[in-house]
Amino acid sequence: MAYLISKENIKVLLDALLAVKEVYAPKKDAEETVLFGKLAGSSEWHGDSLLTHTTAKDKVYLQSERFFNIKKDKDGVRIEEAEEPEEIVIFGCRPCDARGFDILNKLFNWNNYVDEYYTKRMEKTTIVSISCLKPESTCFCTSFAKGSPVDATGSDVLLTPLKNGSYLAETFTEKGKGLISNNSKLFAEAAEVDTKEKELFKTEAEAKIVKKIDLAAVKKLMEPAFESAYWDTVHLPCVKCGACTFVCPTCYCFDITEKAFDNINSERVRSWDTCMNELFTRMAGGVNPRTDTKKRFRQRFMHKFNYHVDNFKEELCTGCGRCIKACPVSIDVRKVIEGVK
Amino acid sequence: MSNIYKPHIAKVMDIKVETGDIKSFKFQFVDQAAQKVFTWKSGQFLILNIFGVGEAVFTFANPQTRNEFIECSIRKVGLASEAAHELEVGDTVGIRGPYGNWFPFEKWHGKNLLYVAGGVGLAALRSPIEFSLDNKKDFKNITILYGARSPMDLCYKDKFSDWEQVKDTNMILTADKGAEGWKHKVGFVPAVLKEVHPSPKDTVAIICGPPIMIKFVLKELLDLGFTPEQIITTLEMRMKCGLGKCGRCNVKHLYICKDGPVFSYAELKDLPEEY
Ligand code: SF4
Ligand code: FES
């Protein structure tokens, strides 16, 4: 079912939402960087920029998350589990970020093991995405099977801006329907011309993304290329900062550590990790299967465009292009994977 | 929904010093009902929680057929294992698991089993060895070739005589360097293997030990006519989750914690040597 919401009502909607839930939307931080932040009022919403510097990933998959508290004293050991997560709304992320969540959902439910920290939080999260009118030069979402500036994968609601200033609002899940029915006064029913306009929007927006990569061909190139001399040189500019994995909507690798406060209290923590870090695979005793940058660099690209495809039938990438912008030495994922030989 | 990261609370019931840097532990869940229904298969591993320090991965040292306790042999190599060596009987730990795949014994009925282990590698093979001894009727001859740097470095010395008493079971011990009173072989495991010259006919070779030993044992086995399918080993990788989620234990698209740790050489030789 499709609806319409006017530009003015979007702000009213935001204020209505944040009266009952936490709402995370693009907003400027103290340094004027646009990030997903908790809105205090609709005026803080900065809807103009295409991509936030980092993704909204950390709102569901926390950068650092306490699994539980541990109390160890003369009565034994007690494990106190974390509080239940709050309901939140992620407002105004882009289709590539929403699809990133869809990819993470599968990983955290993979192999019959449900990661309940992520899953519970995701159950309480409503994702409202906005179609992209002006893709940037770093965008390459259309290279992916589902990717598009109007793709709804992972979104509960997708808003598409129309020429008259209002938005076409489509719902894809019960959560999405709930969001609209709870605020039904702000929405009108969309007419056929509006959904038709979205088709035009799609054609126009997709045409702006000039770079299209044949990912099936890339996978084929990668299969036999593990030992290829290509990796000997392509990694050389990399300074191992890990910025690429940090800004990625799909990078999920994590570490589990324990932090002791004293002899009695400690906490088990999960935190984002990066395959670009040397310690990532180093075993107790010092043996490390991925000792140098070449191996770690190869792992990052092979994982995203080869191994993950074997396991999940889709790439571990959505084409948002953030890693291209974040890399201090301008390593471009598109060039790296297309150049594999 | 149960929390996959939450360990069972367990107590240290017994500690035995095996060698200078290896100790064997017996654990039991505080919740006895949970202990009763807890099952694992030889080859699988667990994640031990030393509260206040962290988690570390160890294989089950005992088989399901001897499941009064959960046993692990731990070599002192890292933070968590050092903390484990500080444990005393009665201390509380956490255990989660079991994880990973296992030795496919059901496929090996009617075959000879040849175990080849070096050093602490026997810790990973004790569970399958005892499982096959406890189900000896399903197998033909069982040969255990085990070596270490010196007689002092052999684990499970107290178990050898029990193992040998099982019908059609043969134990061959070796030390790289002998010592006074040492009545067994002297020499590296691969060399002794060559000398023993086991026939590959109807035999599965199960090997575990330091990488360099594995390399030469593999060569000997292939020379003896074993096919890659007949050679089984278990891999070690840095692991955190044990569940195929934390993303660090992969070789290609395989996760050692989920698709391993048990592999045949036939599977391994097609993988890049990134382990
Ligand atoms: S952002 Fe660039 S330099 Fe930093 S680790 Fe990634 S590829 Fe290497
Ligand atoms: S240990 Fe986490 S993926 Fe294997």
List the structure tokens of A250.
Answer: 């799909």
User: Which residues 120-179 of A have a C-beta within 8 angstroms of B?
Assistant: none
Instruction: With CB atoms and an 8 Å threshold, state whether A256 touches B252.
Output: no
Residue B107: partners with Cβ closer than 8 Å, 6 or more residues away: none
What is the predicted pLDDT for the residue at A292?
81
Is pLDDT of A65 > 60? Answer: yes
- Chain A neighbors of B251, CB-CB under 8 A: 289
The response to whether residue B246 sits with its C-beta less than 6 Å from ligand 2 reads: yes
List the structure tokens of A104.
Answer: 């993470």
Instruction: With CB atoms and an 8 Å threshold, state whether B54 touches A257.
Output: yes
Over residues B207-241, the pLDDT tens digits come to 999 888 999 999 999 999 999 999 999 987 788 89
Chain A residue with the nearest C-alpha to that of B210? A287
Virtual CA dihedral for A59, A62, A63, A68, nearest 10 degrees? 160
Percent of chain B past pLDDT 90, that is, above it, reads 87
What is the predicted pLDDT for the residue at A283?
73
Reduced to 3 states, what is the DSSP secondary structure of residue A2?
Answer: strand
- Per the CB < 8 A criterion, the answer to whether B5 and A114 are in contact is no
* Measured distance CA(B205)–CA(B266) in Å, rounded: 13
Residue B140: partners with Cβ closer than 8 Å, 6 or more residues away: B110, B111, B112, B168, B202
What is the predicted pLDDT for the residue at A14?
97
Q: Residue with the nearest Cα to atom 8 of ligand 1?
A: A238
> Is 3.20.20.450 the CATH classification of the domain at B105-234?
no
Is pLDDT of A58 > 60? Answer: yes
| Mean pLDDT, chain B, whole residue set | 94
Reduced to 3 states, what is the DSSP secondary structure of residue B166?
Answer: coil
Edge-to-edge order in the sheet of strand B112-118:
B185-186, B169-175, B142-148, B112-118, B203-208, B231-234, B262-264
What is the predicted pLDDT for the residue at B165?
95
pTM: 0.92
* Measured distance CA(B236)–CA(A303) in Å, rounded: 20
Is pLDDT of B15 > 70? Answer: yes
State the residue for tokens 């206040």. Answer: B52
Instruction: With CB atoms and an 8 Å threshold, state whether B245 touches A116.
Output: no
Is pLDDT of A288 > 80? Answer: no
What is the predicted pLDDT for the residue at B235?
86
Instruction: With CB atoms and an 8 Å threshold, state whether A72 touches B6.
Output: no
Is pLDDT of B1 > 60? Answer: no
Cβ-based burial of A183 (10 A; exposed 0-12, middle 13-18, buried ≥19): middle
* Measured distance CA(B116)–CA(B219) in Å, rounded: 13
The response to whether residue B245 sits with its C-beta less than 6 Å from ligand 2 reads: yes
Relative orientation angle of helices A116-123 and A95-108, to the nearest 10 degrees: 140
Percent of chain A past pLDDT 90, that is, above it, reads 84
Long-range contacts of A46-51 (CB under 8 A, 24+ apart): A47/A92, A47/A130, A50/A94, A50/A132, A50/A134, A50/A135, A50/A136, A50/A139, A51/A94, A51/A136, A51/A320, A51/A321, A51/A322
Tell me which H or E stretch contains B232. strand B231-234
Low-confidence winner among A177-191, A222-236, A278-292, B160-174 (lowest mean pLDDT): A278-292
Is pLDDT of A175 > 70? Answer: yes
Pocket test for ligand 2, best of B240, B252, B254 (most atoms within 8 A of CB): B240
Would you say the C-alpha torsion A282, B101, B82, A78 has a positive or negative sign? positive
Q: Residues near ligand 1 with C-beta < 6 Å?
A: A 238-244, 276, 326-329, 331
B223: CA distance to ligand 1 center in Å?
Answer: 46
List the structure tokens of A159.
Answer: 């808003």
Over residues A97-127, the pLDDT tens digits come to 999 999 999 999 998 899 999 999 999 999 9
Give the pLDDT mean for A236-260: 93
Identify the CATH class of B8-99: mainly beta
Residue A3: phi, psi to the nearest 5? -130, 170
What is the predicted pLDDT for the residue at A46?
93
Sketch the domain layout of chain B as residue ranges: 8-99, 105-234
Report the DSSP pairing between strands B169-175 and B142-148: parallel
- pLDDT band at B101, cuts 50/70/90? very high
Over residues A76-85, the pLDDT tens digits come to 899 998 889 9
Amino acid at B72: C
Low-confidence winner among A54-58, A266-270, B76-80 (lowest mean pLDDT): B76-80
Amino acid at A86: E
- Chain A neighbors of B211, CB-CB under 8 A: 287
Between CA A143 and CA A153, with CA A147 as vertex, the angle to 5 degrees is 160
Helix ranges (DSSP H) in chain B: 32-37, 79-85, 122-134, 160-165, 189-196, 211-223, 265-268
- pLDDT band at B77, cuts 50/70/90? confident
Cβ-based burial of B15 (10 A; exposed 0-12, middle 13-18, buried ≥19): middle
